[in-house]
Amino acid sequence: MSDGPASGEPVRVVVVFASRTGRTRRMAEALAEGAEATGAAVLLREAEAATHEDLRGCDALVVGSGVHMGGPEATLRAFLAETAPLWLKAELRGKLAAVFASAGDGAQGGAELTLVSMLSTLAEHGMLLVPMHPRLEGFAEGGMHWGPVAATQPHGGEPGPTEVQLVAARSHGRWVAECAARWRRGQSTVGSA
Ligand SMILES: Cc1cc2nc3c(=O)[nH]c(=O)nc-3n(C[C@H](O)[C@H](O)[C@H](O)COP(=O)(O)O)c2cc1C
């Protein structure tokens, strides 16, 4: 695992997302706001612009995508596939990881599979997956246990991401950053494997 930031520095959260029409971007920004509220330093990166250096330097990586044909959008898939060189050197092992998605249909449109698909790559890296606990604010309207989800073109009701779905993204961002801070403190006392 790469060293990442020194223990006195703020926790670093990198949010990598793919968003063709700006809906997932709004979730990414809400997630970043939540993380920043804890004092974390947050880097927002579109999938096409994210670098391996960005990932090496983070404590927590959060990945989000619009749902395309039942799975992650193409540039996000490419971003994940191209992390293979980091896997070869176990450079992301032991960092925290989380996911989020926006889908036209929400739960029915492949959102869950999209979240799990992204998590699968992060698990392959040996990252520590941070799920969304049902007690986090906004979970009922904007969460799955895998992570925040917005239904952006529901058959009935308000198009998303709605304010409460953004609350869910914000609360998960906060939780991920808090977990990263706790993990960093723990590592400084017990050392890393
Ligand atoms: C090519 C394409 C394929 C899509 N496939 C799905 C899908 O399989 N299921 C779904 O629920 N929504 C689907 N959608 C809708 C998007 O997931 C939804 O509008 C999402 O909020 C877009 O996020 P973005 O604005 O960040 O790109 C699709 C949209 C596009 C453009």
HEC states along 23-70?
A: HHHHHHHHHHHHHHCCCCEEEEEECCCCCHHHHHCCCEEEEEEEEECC
- Is the pLDDT confidence value at 191 over 90? no
Q: How many Å is the Cα radius of gyration of the chain?
A: 15
Atom of ligand 1 nearest to the CA of 24: 26
Q: 122 in a domain, yes or no?
A: yes
Give me the pLDDT at residue 155, please: 77
Q: 6 in a domain, yes or no?
A: no
Amino acid at 94: G
- Is the pLDDT confidence value at 106 over 90? no
Q: 191 in a domain, yes or no?
A: no
Q: Report pLDDT digits (tens) over 81-105.
A: 999 999 999 999 999 999 999 999 8
Q: 5 in a domain, yes or no?
A: no
Q: 189 in a domain, yes or no?
A: no
Residue 127 sits in a domain whose CATH number is: 3.40.50.360
Question: Would the CB of 67 count as within 6 Å of ligand 1?
Answer: yes
d(CA 42, CA 13): 5
Residue of 16, 68, 115, 155 to mutate, ligand 1, most atoms within 8 A of C-beta: 68
Q: 84 in a domain, yes or no?
A: yes
Taking a C-beta distance cutoff of 8 angstroms, is the pair 111, 149 a contact? Answer: yes
Q: Report pLDDT digits (tens) over 116-170.
A: 999 999 999 999 999 999 999 999 999 999 999 998 887 777 788 999 999 999 9
Band of pLDDT at residue 1, cut at 50, 70 and 90: very low
Of 61-65, 67-71, 106-110, 174-178, the one with minimum mean pLDDT is 106-110
d(CA 86, CA 96): 15
Q: 3 in a domain, yes or no?
A: no
Give the three-state DSSP class for 170. helix
In this prediction the pTM is 0.94
Range of the domain at 156: 12-184
Give me the pLDDT at residue 142, please: 94
Question: Would the CB of 188 count as within 6 Å of ligand 1?
Answer: no
Residue 168 CA to ligand 1 centre (angstroms)? 19
Q: Look-up: residue for tokens 């070869």?
A: 88
Residue 120 CA to ligand 1 centre (angstroms)? 20
> How many independent structural domains does the chain possess?
1
Atom of ligand 1 nearest to the CA of 152: 21
Give the CA-trace dihedral at 43, 53, 47, 167, to 10 degrees: -30
Q: 161 in a domain, yes or no?
A: yes
